Amino acid sequence: MNVKRWMINKRGQVTIFIIIAIIIVAAALLIYSFYPQIQSSLGVQEQNPNSYIQFCLENDLKDTVNKISTQGGDVNPVDNYVLYNDTQIKFLCYTGEFYRSCIIQQPMLKQHIESEINKVMNSKVDACFASLKQSYEGRGYTVTLQTGIKNFELLPKRVAATLNYSLVLTKGTDVQKYNSFVVFLNNNIYELSSIANSILNWESLYGDSETTTYMTFYHDLKVEKKLGDNGAKIYILTDRVSGNKFQFAVRSQVWPAGYIAPTA
């Protein structure tokens, strides 16, 4: 009698397991079949093209801006620079003579930095759009892509890239059109380069600048003035909050070795 009851219980357990397995398989099939609708109802969408380009470019843009910021606004200083801590730092105000104030080398510093960023990022932008095209084609889209003008701009507290590329994505009756893409990088090189311009003006007029004045006015700013070789001065501007830096070199009002300035 006990053996018979055990056999009945065993068969009941097997039946329950079979039913559970059928339910799991059926649920999996339903989820697979209706996954796009489930995505839509939950607000989960495919990464849109602008987000794709933002993600593709932001690390390269960050590295490029950081490199330019530590080299005096140049991506590759090939002349008129000083070597400091194994970094080539461009002279933004320079004279090779003694006793004289320097001459500003980049009067349009903001525009020069934007041009340097564009020089580096130009090919990377094209590569990201090529990758975007391949990605959507792999998902069954017909992709029409037309290249356009790339514009990198320094703005307050950020760097903006406006990419006037035309993109059309087609899948069945679904047609998506995009006429431009915008990528942002949080970086205050705009503010730091503006302060650098002010220091350069002082150096060109008076042969020096007072760093504490800037730190008094800008509480989150650290300004260092280091001495380099052959009369060079290296200015290092650091945002104490973000850690962003801009450094550049100056040679101005240099006295020859052994010269003793007259006293009043």
What are the extents of the domains in the chain? Answer: 2-41, 49-251
pLDDT the model gives residue 257: 77
pLDDT tops 90 at residue 23: no
pLDDT tops 80 at residue 98: yes
Tokens, residue 207: 């042969």
pLDDT tops 70 at residue 212: yes
Query: Do the Cβ atoms of 235 and 199 come closer than 8 Å?
Result: yes
Percent of the chain exceeding pLDDT 90 equals: 78
What type of residue sits at position 8?
Answer: I
Spatial distance between the Cα atoms of 221 and 156, rounded to a whole number of angstroms: 15
What is the H or E stretch that residue 195 is in?
helix 189-206
The mean pLDDT value for 92-116 works out to: 97
Report the helix count and the strand count for the chain, using DSSP H and E.
6, 12
For 73, left (φ over 0), alpha (ψ -120 to 50), or beta?
A: left
The mean pLDDT value for 64-86 works out to: 96
> Between these two residues, 36 and 202, which has the higher pLDDT value?
202
The mean pLDDT value for 156-171 works out to: 97
Query: Do the Cβ atoms of 252 and 92 come closer than 8 Å?
Result: no
Place of tokens 């590759």: 76
Spatial distance between the Cα atoms of 224 and 212, rounded to a whole number of angstroms: 9
**Measured distance between the N- and C-terminal CA atoms of the chain, rounded to whole angstroms:** 123
What confidence tier does 261 reach under pLDDT thresholds 50, 70, 90? Answer: low
Residues 115-162 pLDDT 10s:
999 999 999 999 999 999 999 999 999 999 999 999 999 999 999 999
Tokens, residue 165: 């590329």
Write down the mean pLDDT value for the chain.
Answer: 88
pTM over 0.85: no
Closest residue by Cα to residue 90 from 73, 104, 102, 103? 73
pLDDT the model gives residue 48: 93
**Cβ–Cβ contacts within 10 Å for residue 127, how many?**
13
Place of tokens 């300004």: 223
